[in-house]
Structures are given as structure tokens and as C-alpha cells.
Chains A and B, each alone.
Chain A
Amino acid sequence: MDLYQKDVVSIMDFSKDDIEGILDMAEEMVPYAKGEKIKRSLDGKILGNLFFEPSTRTKLSFESAAYRLGCDVIDVSEMSMTSMAKGETLADTIKIVDAYCDVTVLRHPYEGASKMAAKFSDHPVINAGDGAGSHPTQTLLDLFTMRQAKGSLDGLNIALVGDLKYGRTVHSLAQGLTKYGMKISLVSPETLKMPDEIVQHLTENGCSPRIRTLEDAVAEADVLYVTRIQRERFPDPSEYQKVAGVYRIDNALLQNAKDDLIVMHPLPRVNEIAPEVDKTHHAKYFQQAANGVPVRMAILNAILGGEM
């Protein structure tokens, strides 16, 4: 596996071996991510953290990952604070930031923004979410969390629940799951179902998804991956109101689940998962968020050529 100077735009750019390699490195990064050990493999490097959409976990975990490796961070959190507010194109902004740092992390509201940014950058670009497109580093930390809990990813039964239309995390994740031959169930309102091109991709890769009710999916699943129905992605607020709160995971529902079911969520949650679930052994979403640091450390270290 050689990820040196490689862009991280889509999970589809990575082979199963690449993914396993990153997850192995992430495992080694865990004590460094917790501050139990010190590592300075990226000393002298600079990361440009460009977030043109709100973020807590992704932005902070990239910063934390960089600092844990001795890498400095320069960042932009609002478009209004950049020359883009004066009409500068994203392409020009990227060229400038690329001149100031060794790797650019980009979150942007438009699909394909990171792919375009990669064309205008000499240094690697990491996609931290592009509109309803994809979120490959989230997928890597999701897979890491599943592997941590289950030991192996091959052949697991996973149910994807909630906003499957606009949810970029489930788009990337679904594509990543095909590399492990997982059995995929989809649970969503009709108006928020998985886009056809992703269903087609899953089918072509031997993971033809099944449409399930929430109850059936919970009973069968090894992994329940819940997503928020995202108000901000709805062009029409009344359409949001029709589907808001349609799924709720609580302890009563989980009574029919396998004992070793894990419940994941990319967070933030609104009311999809009742707080009472937090205390059960099923809940893995806070561990999942914490895993963002070692996984992103592994990615940064690999593409910037840090020593392990």
C-alpha cells in the first residue's frame, strides 16, 4: 500500500488492501490519539483545514489528528471570512491554500468540490464531505469502528437507516461495504431512498441491497447504522416536516435485536436515537466519533510520508 501524496476524494479510489492497511495503521495510532504516547512524524508539515459547511467532529478530529503528529494547522471555517465572499472561485482559493500548506482538507456544500480541488492542487486533497456526495474518511472510521467491535468485516449484515438520499456518509459507506461482501438492508422513507446510481453500484458489486422495515432490519442486523434526516438538505421545508422523526431507535425496539448488535451514527443526532440507548452495550456512536482521530492520523501520516 502506497498512499504517499495520494488524494482522498472517494472511497472508491481505495482497494480493500488499502483500506485494511489504513485500519491497521489506525490501530497503531490509538495510544498516540489518546495522548498516552507521543509521536511527531509530521513535524514541520502544515495542514489547511477548509470548512465551508458546519462541522464539529470532522473538523476537530482532523485538527487533533494533525497536532498529535506534530503537524501544524491553518484553517478557514466560514466562506464569509475568505476572498470567496468577494467572488473568488473555489479553484483560485484552493490554489492559494495549496501554496501555503502540505495537504488540504476540504468540506464544501457542492458535490464534486473535492475532486475539482484535487485538480488544482499540487499537494494532496482530502474530501471531508462534499454536499450530498461522499465522505470517505468517515467511511474509514466507520469501518474501523465495525472491525474493532466485530473483529472482521467480511459478510456482516448491516442496515442503513434514515436519510439515504442526501446522507453522504451512507453513500460512501455503502460503496465501502461492497469490498467486504456485506449484506446490506436499506430503511428509509420513500422520498429519501438511496440514489439509483449507488443501488446500481451495490448490485453490480454483488451486494444487491434489500428494502426492509425498521423492525425487520433491527432483528437481522449485526450493525445498525442510523443517520439524521438533514433539514438543511431539503429544498422544501414542508417535505422535511413530512419525514422528520419518522424513525426512532429506543430500548424497546432493540429488545428484538441480536445481543451483539452495534448501533452506529455519524452524529450529530437529533432524535433518531433515544438517549436511553447510550447506556446499552449496543451504543458505539461515541466510540465511533472518537475513532475519527486515530483513523485520520493514519491517513495523514500515510499521505504525507510520516514514519510509523
Chain B
Amino acid sequence: MGAQEPIKEIRLMPIKNGTVIDHIACGQALNVLKILGVNENNIYSSISVGMHVGSATLGGWKDIVKIEDMELDEVTAQKIALVAPDATISIVRDLHVAEKYKVKLSDRVVGLARCSNPNCISNKGEPIESEFSVVSKYPMQLKCCYCDKILMNITDNLL
């Protein structure tokens, strides 16, 4: 019997069309899925999730999410930046990467999350969008531009 061939394990299947969200901070894949709305029965294709995958870029481990037949819009990419500021988005068309970019977090986060202070004017039905300034990216800290409170539990307060 000859030397055994190393087993080529394919952890995440390549996708033909869709979006690959890579370099997600380790442990944040489930929050990315929440942002994508997988619990809301609005996705009609396969999603592959890799958690705690080796990463040279993030210096250790990362998460990765692949979604078939869905191209992320800009607003969703901005929301992902709130939980995974180093994530990269690859749009795959016919097995080729058609676009690739790193999610971008601007200094002001507008209309993406609600303030966690129930007494904040931005939660009272006024004709305004929520607005936060980014205090820190690691860990992510957002400060409400109306009541100055630091937003707690970003993923629970995404709009």
C-alpha cells in the first residue's frame, strides 16, 4: 500500500454567484448572519458559515460567510462594518470575483442603529434619523449624537 494521499478537506464550498464576506472578526459570524436577516425567511439560497478559521491577515482566527445568489447592498455592508470593521466583501459572478472591497466605517453612523437609551429623543417618533459618532473601532463604541450615551449591544440595536 502506497503513501496515503493527504485528505483535501473543503471546508466551505466555492460559490458560483453571490457574496463572500471574509476577515470577519472571530466570533462575529452569527451577528453578520443576523444583519443579513437569515432569521427573517428572506433569503432563498445557501449560506455557508466558517467560524474560527485560520487567518494570516487577522493574526490568528477569523470567521467567513458565503451567500449564494445575493449581492450585498451598501447599507448592509455598512452595518457589517459595525460588527466586523475589517471584513472584506467579494462579489462573485460566474465563479469569478467581480468586485472586492473592504467594508468602510465612516466617522458618522446614520440610520443604521437605534440609540439604546429609551429616553433619547431619537427613539420618540420624531422625524430624525439616529446618528452616532464612532468613538472607538476596537472595541466598537458609538456615541449618540443626540443624548451622548454610548451605544450598548450594537447587534441588538441595529435597524
Contact = CB atoms under 8 A, between A and B. Distances in A.
The answer to whether A binds B is yes
Interface of A: 10, 89-91, 108-113, 115-116, 119, 130-133, 195-197
A110 B145 contact: no
B30 to A, nearest CB: 27
23 contacts: A10-B148, A89-B127, A90-B121, A91-B126, A109-B119, A110-B121, A111-B117, A111-B120, A111-B121, A111-B148, A112-B120, A112-B121, A112-B147, A113-B121, A115-B121, A115-B145, A115-B146, A116-B122, A130-B121, A130-B147, A131-B119, A133-B147, A197-B148
A61 to B, nearest CB: 25
Chain B: interface size category: 10 to 19
Best-buried of B120, B145, B147 by chain A (most CB within 10 Å)? B147
Nearest to B145: A115
B53 to A, nearest CB: 35
Nearest to B117: A111
B51 interface: no
Interface string B116-159: 01011110111110000000000000011111111000000000
A91 B150 contact: no
Given A132-B119, A196-B150, A197-B150, A112 B144 contact: yes
B149 A89 contact: no
Contacts of B146: 111-112, 115-116
Given A89-B127, A133-B148, A112 B122 contact: yes
Contacts of B144: 112
**Minimum-distance CB pairs A-B, first 6:** A112-B146, A111-B147, A112-B121, A112-B147, A110-B121, A113-B121
Contacts of B149: 111, 195, 197
A119 B127 CA distance: 11
B133 to A, nearest CB: 12
Nearest to B144: A112
A113 B119 CA distance: 10
Contact of A116 (B117, B119, B121): B121
Contacts of A133: 147-148
B117 A90 contact: no
Contacts of B143: 197
Contacts of B148: 10, 111-112, 133, 197
Given A108-B121, A112-B122, A195-B149, 9 more contacts: A90-B126, A91-B127, A110-B124, A111-B146, A112-B146, A115-B121, A116-B122, A196-B150, A197-B150
A119 B125 CA distance: 16
Given A111-B120, A131-B119, A132-B119, A116 B147 contact: no
Contacts of A116: 121-122, 126, 128, 146
A130 B120 CA distance: 9
A153 B35 CA distance: 50
A79 to B, nearest CB: 13
B126 A89 contact: yes
Contacts of B128: 91, 116, 119
B21 to A, nearest CB: 32
Nearest to A132: B119
A236 to B, nearest CB: 14
